[in-house]
């Protein structure tokens, strides 16, 4: 079951702007709607809603979480093959393949280059074929 937006929605568009798969639509100042076929149940909409107007996949109110407590992708360089699936899958362009550390270095990997732009959806983690990405709160 996908997330649902209730009548408490004020149409601020924060959820739509933060949705990594563009599953939320609606006009400004009007109630928005979640496309349940596109929704990946990441919870970003609920974490960012200032009105507590979003129900999670269990039908419970999704509570707002301060942005500094959102999980971010942590890449294990020794496991990452630099396939770039996570880079290509990120709508917010938060990840990039690293440059070699020195001339002749062949070890490259995905790295978080825009942590402030990351919404913590976990899509990169689910796309990684080698499980080289873990979502963690960065201290």
pLDDT digit string, tens, across residues 78-116: 999 999 999 999 999 999 999 988 888 888 999 999 999
Q: Whole-angstrom Cα distance, residue 56 to residue 18?
A: 16
What per-residue confidence (pLDDT) applies to 139? 78
- Please name each of the domains of the chain with its CATH number: 1-65 (3.30.70.20), 70-137 (3.30.70.20)
Per-residue pLDDT reduced to its tens digit, 36-49: 999 999 999 999 99
Q: Whole-angstrom Cα distance, residue 133 to residue 124?
A: 7
What per-residue confidence (pLDDT) applies to 1? 74
Q: What global pTM score does this model have?
A: 0.86
For residue 136, pLDDT over 90 is answered with yes
Phi, psi of 5 (to 5 degrees): -100, 130
What per-residue confidence (pLDDT) applies to 106? 84
Q: Whole-angstrom Cα distance, residue 31 to residue 95?
A: 32
Q: Whole-angstrom Cα distance, residue 120 to residue 111?
A: 14
C-alpha distances in Å from residue 125, one per residue of 27, 45, 134? 31, 18, 6
Mean pLDDT of 58-71: 95
């Amino acid at each position: 079951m996908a997330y649902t937006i209730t009548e408490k929605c004020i149409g601020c568009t924060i959820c739509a702007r933060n949705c990594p798969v563009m599953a939320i639509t609606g006009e400004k100042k009007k109630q928005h709607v979640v496309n349940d076929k596109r929704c990946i149940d990441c919870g970003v909409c609920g974490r960012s809603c200032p009105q507590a107007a979003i129900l999670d996949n269990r039908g419970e109110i999704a509570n707002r979480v301060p942005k500094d407590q959102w999980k971010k992708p942590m890449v294990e360089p020794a496991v990452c093959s630099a396939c770039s699936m996570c880079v290509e899958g990120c709508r917010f362009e938060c990840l990039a393949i690293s440059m070699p550390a020195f001339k002749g270095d062949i070890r490259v990997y995905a790295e978080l280059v825009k942590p402030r732009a990351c919404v913590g959806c976990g899509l990169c983690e689910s796309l990684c074929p080698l499980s080289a990405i873990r979502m963690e709160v960065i201290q």
